[in-house]
Structure 1
Amino acid sequence: MEAVYGHGVRCAAVLQKLAKVGGGLEHGLVFASHLGDPRVSFQVVFPVVLVLFSPTLGHAVLRCAIISEWLNLVFKWFLFGERPYWWIFESGFYSYKDPEVQQFSVTCETGPGSPSGHCMVTAAVMWVMVPSLENYVYKLCRSRWMARTFTWGPALLLLMAVGISRVFILAHFPHQVIAGLVTGTCLGWLLRREKLTQGWGVRAYSIASLSLICIALAFQYCLLALGLDLHWSMRLAQHWCARKEWVHLITTPLSSLMRDSGACCGLGLAQHMFGALRPTRGGPLLHAACAVLILLALHLLDSLKIPSDPLLLFYAFIFLKNTALPMVVMGIFHFFI
Structure 2
Amino acid sequence: MSTLTAGPRPSGPSRRLTSGLTWTMLRLHRTALFVWGGGLLTVLTALVWIHEAGPGIRSAVGDCTAADPFPMRCGFTHESAAEQVHTYGLALVSGCVTYLIYAIAVWAGAALTGRELESGTAHLAWTQSVTPARWLAAKLAVPAVLLTAGTTLAVLLCGWTRRAGDGELAGGWFITNVFISSGPVAVAYALAGLALGALAGLVLRRALPAAAAALAAAYVLHEVLDRFRMSLWPAVTTTGRAALHVPYGSMLLEHGSVTADGERVNTSLACVGTDGSALEACIRRGPWTDFWSTYQPQSHYWPLQLVESGLLLAVAGLATAVAFALLRRRHG
TM-score for the superposition, normalised by structure 2: 0.35
**Greater RCO between the two (CA within 8 Å, min separation 6)?**
1
The structure whose Rg is larger is: 2
Name the structure where strand makes up a greater proportion of residues. Answer: 2
